[in-house]
Amino acid sequence: MKFVHIADMHFDTSFAQISNTELGNSRRLEQRKALKKIIEYIKENNVDYLFIAGDFYEHKYIRESTIEYINKLFKEIEQTKIFITPGNHDPLIKNSFYNKYKWNDNVHIFNSKISCVNDGNINIYGYGFDDFYYTNPEIESLELEDKNKINILITHASLDGTNNVDLQYNAVSKRTLENIGFDYVALGHIHKSNYTENETIVYPGSTISMGFDELGRHGMVVGEFSDKKLKTEFIPLDEGEFKINELDISELESVETIADTINNLILDSNKFYEIYLVGNKNFEIDLYNLKKMILQNNVIKIKDNSKISYNLEELAKSNNLKGLFVKEILDRLEDDTYDKETVEKALEIGLDILEK
């Protein structure tokens, strides 16, 4: 028996965290391209099952045309059985496309009650979100119908979640799942894959990266059971990759020099970059104007993590306007009622003005 396991595709998401309309549109096309690759893999390898563990689309933004595109691809693999467990971004609510759309006959959508689909020597269990939060999975009381079969669970969950946020998103413990005796658990919700060859409780991660908080490879997990022996593999799907590069600006003398340095970086055209400015600085950095000077199209964001190199204690001793200003700033930095980042920015701007 062969399967493909994906999760967290987030079709039609806004990609708001990228703050780049053109790139957001490109990423939405990459979502479609990734699903097409999955379908082609399934056809070429005669895969029996496709497991989709939640957040397949964004309920708030999904368009019917996108659902039709997806379902049309599903019709190309009619011999493959597709199982979907709704997540917190695509819950099975009244106006959900899981409810109101006529899906292809090979698609099975689980609801919020744990149920089992018997398919020969395979038992596939699943349950999903019926709202944007889900806190009562009742998985602890589940007993397998037949432990001699291959038993698989598909769900969207916070594995070993203990904080108040995790507990709102179907928190389940790894020990519980192991004690029940599943041969494979297809999870969704966490966008970073935990895949290792011997792991049977698996997050494949988001199918394509959503932004700079999702570095590294993204794709699908494929598996094959021979009797009850499992062999798995992670296959990357995302042709793009988000990367963070650091640039030490300690020896650079102006914003223009920073821009020139970034423009001369050798960057991979298939990757998207966020540049972290680090080191010490002696001048104000206006990130908005700096970004306008950047000619590298795949530099998406710039973040200023550099520090002011002034000796503030010495400046505060000066009997002039600059000294009074620095003393006031130092007092505010020690006062927890002020936002430290805002005060540091005020210091940077103020000293830049006073230097002129």
Give tens-digit pLDDT for 268-315. Answer: 888 889 999 999 887 888 898 999 999 998 898 899 988 877 677 777
Predicted TM-score (pTM) of the model is 0.79
Domain with CATH 3.60.21.10 in the chain: 2-236
* pLDDT tens per residue across span 34-75: 999 999 999 999 999 999 999 999 999 999 999 999 999 999
Q: Which residues pair with 4 in a beta bridge?
A: 50, 222
| Cα distance between residue 196 and residue 88, in whole Å | 26
Instruction: Catalogue the E-assigned strands of 76-126.
Output: 81-84, 107-109, 115-119, 122-126
Report the distance separating Cα 228 and Cα 128, nearest Å.
26
Q: What is the pLDDT of residue 18?
A: 67
CATH code 2.40.50.140 for 2-236: no
Q: Which of 133, 11, 115, 125 is nearest to 73 (CA)?
A: 11
Rounded Cα gap, residues 108 and 116, in angstroms: 11
Residue 188: is its pLDDT beyond 90? yes
Q: Position 158: which residue type?
A: S
